[in-house]
């Protein structure tokens, strides 16, 4: 499902305009992004939890040349599905 398809589904499900659904979705995404950027966690009960995980620096290999490369440490977003979501897709 694309963002446009999700906006259509939200608009139809909530009985609102596509513009209002798009604004709501953009606001949700912006709120989650800002919270994660601050190192916080967003929990939507029954759906899941968005959080930030830290990856340590490590060594890797260039698959083309076989040369060893250094991969820097990074913060990465994570999503953990909630119980209700897991049960809904069984």
SS3 content of the chain, % helix, strand, coil (to 5): 40, 30, 30
Q: Indicate if 22 and 54 belong to the same structural domain.
A: no
- Domain with 87, as residue range(s), is 40-90
Question: What total number of domains does the chain contain?
Answer: 2
31 and 56 co-located in one domain: no
User: Are 33 and 67 within one domain?
Assistant: no
Reported as a single tens digit per residue, the pLDDT across 43-83 is 999 999 999 999 999 999 999 999 999 999 999 999 999 99
- The pTM for the full model equals 0.79
20: Cβ–Cβ under 8 A, 6 or more apart, which residues?
11
- Residue 57 and residue 78 in one domain: yes
Q: Are strands 74-81 and 48-55 parallel, antiparallel or unpaired?
A: antiparallel
Band (90; pLDDT cuts 50, 70, 90): confident
């Amino acid at each position: 499902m694309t963002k446009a398809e999700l906006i259509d589904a939200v608009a139809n499900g909530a009985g609102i305009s596509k513009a209002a659904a798009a604004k709501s979705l953009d606001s949700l995404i912006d709120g989650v992004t800002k919270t994660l950027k601050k190192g916080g966690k967003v929990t939507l009960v029954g759906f899941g939890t968005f959080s930030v995980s830290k990856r340590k620096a490590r060594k890797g290999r260039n698959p083309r040349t076989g040369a060893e490369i250094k991969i820097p440490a990074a913060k990465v977003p994570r999503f953990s599905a909630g119980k209700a979501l897991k049960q809904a897709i069984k």
